């Protein structure tokens, strides 16, 4: 027997004294009992919410269906499970009861073992739900704290915006896409766009590690090939296999006359110059963090950097944007848009305007980022 003070409370609502007495006898050993013989009294007693309400359907004044409707409309009582008591067996009555928010029906005449079992089951479900809500609240608080930590670590990143512009859209507070830019002591520039698998906190957790490696080794004068190799090694060793990073990286020599590009799993980097056609640097390497032995990190493209050239690196959150009723935005549309941005010297934010129109105002389905590097 449960101690009286710790017993769940059950509110019995029925206009029949016989039914109330029978229900009281069935449940009194394990529950605190409150009794109402009409709908208005039930609403009054429910103002201090019980754990469960057994509610007769057919009552004078307001019937059980109306009582249930009012209970579910009230923020104080909307969460209380309601089990209808009824002598009716029509399917339509049960459909109405469930549509109003009831969790169960018990048919008259009562079988004590059935009443006892149903009440205990719904009380157990209620307690399980409350425990789950508590745990979810704890997890939510912990997630918020971790997001704050990751956000602070990433906001402290010493991004060097000289000759670089970028735009970013995130589904959550923390994003799986990153943009990094820094200059070596000799004046050479490194730019990296990364897209971690998934999105949200799991995707963002590798960002601070990658940023630390990028900025520390760039400051030490290391070249981009070595930095990518170190990133790959650390991601393989320190993060689970389901977290990896597709990356596009470029290196400009100190005179800014030569650019070297790597593409490990991202859409093609786009290089535009007024005198030449668009140069595409497609992915030729696997994402970072999948294997320590399968890639030598040799450059995927090397060419002259011209004064009017701009290079665009971006994640697939842009090309894979789509409304429910249409195909993906796709590579071809993006290349046309980037060409227009280049020719008309438009701001990168035009990308979001175009995608918003294409996606019918429903937003993107993944984190997205684009970086523009100029001469």
Give the CA distances from residue 267 to residues 202, 240, 264, 356, 374, in Å, rounded to whole numbers and listed in that order. Answer: 22, 24, 9, 20, 19
Residue 77 lies in a domain: yes
* Residue finishing a domain among 132, 148, 180: 132
Shared domain check, 127 and 176: no
Q: Rounded to the nearest 5 degrees, what angle is found at the Cα of 315, between the Cα atoms of 191 and 142?
A: 95
Residue 152 lies in a domain: no
Per-residue pLDDT at 132: 87
Long-range own/partner contacts, residues 60-63 (CB < 8 A, 24 or more apart): 60/15, 62/38, 63/39
Shared domain check, 163 and 126: no
**Mean pLDDT to the nearest integer, 180-193:** 97
31-64 tens-digit pLDDT: 999 999 999 999 999 999 999 999 999 999 999 9
Shared domain check, 242 and 196: yes
Residue 43 lies in domain: 4-132
CATH (domain of 37): 3.40.50.2300
Domains in the chain: how many in total? 2
Shared domain check, 334 and 213: yes
Per-residue pLDDT at 365: 81
**Mean pLDDT to the nearest integer, 18-38:** 95
Q: What is the DSSP letter of 288?
A: B
Residue 352 lies in a domain: yes
Shared domain check, 313 and 280: yes
Residue 149 lies in a domain: no
**Mean pLDDT to the nearest integer, 339-364:** 92
Shared domain check, 123 and 88: yes
Per-residue pLDDT at 145: 62
Residue 355 lies in a domain: yes
Per-residue pLDDT at 6: 80
76-131 tens-digit pLDDT: 999 999 999 998 778 888 999 999 999 999 999 989 999 999 999 999 999 998 88
- Summary mean pLDDT of the chain: 90
Shared domain check, 350 and 286: yes
Q: What are 367's two structure tokens?
A: 């984190």
The answer to whether residue 25 scores a pLDDT higher than 90 is yes
Shared domain check, 221 and 99: no
190-224 tens-digit pLDDT: 999 999 987 666 667 788 889 999 999 999 999 99
Whether the CB-CB separation of 231 and 214 falls below 8 Å is answered with yes
Residue 96 lies in a domain: yes
CATH (domain of 169): 3.60.40.10
Shared domain check, 163 and 77: no
Residue 139 lies in a domain: no
Shared domain check, 354 and 218: yes
Residue 144 lies in a domain: no
Mark out the alpha helices in the chain (DSSP H runs): 17-27, 39-45, 64-73, 91-99, 112-155, 201-204, 207-219, 224-238, 316-319, 330-344, 350-358
Shared domain check, 293 and 172: yes
Shared domain check, 182 and 80: no
Q: How confident is the model at residue 1 (pLDDT cuts 50, 70, 90)?
A: very low
* Residue finishing a domain among 74, 97, 132: 132
Whether the CB-CB separation of 193 and 373 falls below 8 Å is answered with no
């Amino acid at each position: 027997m449960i101690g009286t003070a710790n017993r769940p409370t059950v509110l019995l609502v029925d206009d029949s004294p016989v039914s109330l007495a029978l229900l009281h006898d069935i449940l009194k050993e394990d529950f605190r009992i409150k009794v109402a013989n009409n709908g208005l009294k039930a609403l009054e007693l429910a103002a201090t919410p019980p754990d469960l309400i057994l509610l007769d359907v057919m009552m004078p004044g307001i019937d059980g269906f109306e009582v249930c409707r009012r209970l579910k409309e009230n923020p104080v009582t909307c969460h209380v499970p309601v089990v209808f008591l009824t002598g009716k067996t029509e399917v339509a009555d049960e459909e109405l009861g469930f549509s109003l928010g009831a969790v169960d029906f018990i048919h008259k005449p009562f079988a004590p073992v059935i009443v006892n079992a149903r009440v205990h089951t719904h009380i157990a479900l209620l307690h399980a739900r409350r425990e789950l809500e508590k745990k979810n609240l704890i997890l939510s608080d912990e997630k918020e704290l971790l997001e704050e930590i990751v956000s602070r670590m990433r906001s402290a990143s010493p991004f060097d915006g000289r000759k670089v512009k970028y735009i970013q859209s995130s589904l959550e507070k923390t994003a799986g896409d990153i943009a990094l830019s820094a200059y070596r002591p000799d004046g050479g520039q490194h730019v990296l766009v990364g897209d971690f698998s998934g999105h949200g906190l799991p995707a963002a957790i590798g960002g601070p590690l990658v940023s630390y490696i990028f900025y520390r080794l760039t400051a030490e004068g290391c070249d981009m090939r070595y930095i990518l190799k170190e990133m790959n090694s650390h991601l393989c060793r320190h993060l689970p296999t389901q977290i990896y990073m597709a990356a596009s990286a470029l290196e400009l020599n100190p005179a800014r006359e030569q650019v070297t590009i790597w593409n490990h799993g991202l859409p093609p980097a786009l290089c535009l110059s007024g005198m030449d056609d668009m140069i595409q640097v497609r992915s030729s390497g696997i994402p970072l963090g999948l294997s320590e032995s399968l890639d030598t990190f040799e450059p995927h493209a090397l060419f002259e950097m011209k004064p009017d050239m701009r290079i665009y690196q971006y994640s697939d959150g842009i090309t894979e944007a789509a409304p429910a009723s249409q195909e993906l935005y796709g590579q071809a549309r993006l290349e046309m848009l980037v060409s227009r941005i280049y020719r008309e010297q438009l701001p990168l934010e035009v990308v979001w305007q175009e995608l918003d129109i294409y996606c019918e105002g429903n937003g993107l389905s993944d984190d997205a980022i684009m970086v523009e590097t100029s001469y």
